[in-house]
Amino acid sequence: MKSQIKYTDEPIGRVKIVADFLPSPEELAVRNNNTKVTMSLSSESVEYFKEAAKKNDMPYQKMIRELLDEYVAHQKDR
């Protein structure tokens, strides 16, 4: 930090209390039950997911997993 913060003794004004909307640490720590599998995908598909994941700054395996999870959720709703 280049500039130093200057603190003043001014009144804060009206304070508004908002409801706690953040998840608890226990909720944040919940992990999905993942099962490791080995599968063969086309090189074209893998390359697509790698490029898309790089653009979105996430691992490509996670992107594939989330796609499959969305597909399953959609199929269950049918």
Class of residue 69 by CB neighbours under 10 A (exposed 0-12, middle 13-18, buried 19+) = exposed
How many residues are there in the chain?
Answer: 78
Query: CA-to-CA distance for 50 and 11, rounded, in angstroms?
Result: 53
Residue 35 near residue 20, CB atoms below 8 Å: no
Confidence band, pLDDT 50/70/90 cuts, at residue 23: confident
Question: Which carries the bigger pLDDT value, residue 24 or residue 72?
Answer: 72
**Global confidence as pTM:** 0.58
Confidence of residue 44 (pLDDT cuts 50, 70, 90): very high
Q: Per-residue pLDDT averaged across 24-42, rounded?
A: 82
**pLDDT (0 to 100) of residue 43:** 96
What mean pLDDT do residues 4-18 have? 86
The stretches of 1-78 forming alpha helices (DSSP H) are 25-28, 43-55, 60-76
Q: What percent of the chain has pLDDT over 90?
A: 42
Angle between helices 43-55 and 60-76 (to 10 degrees): 100
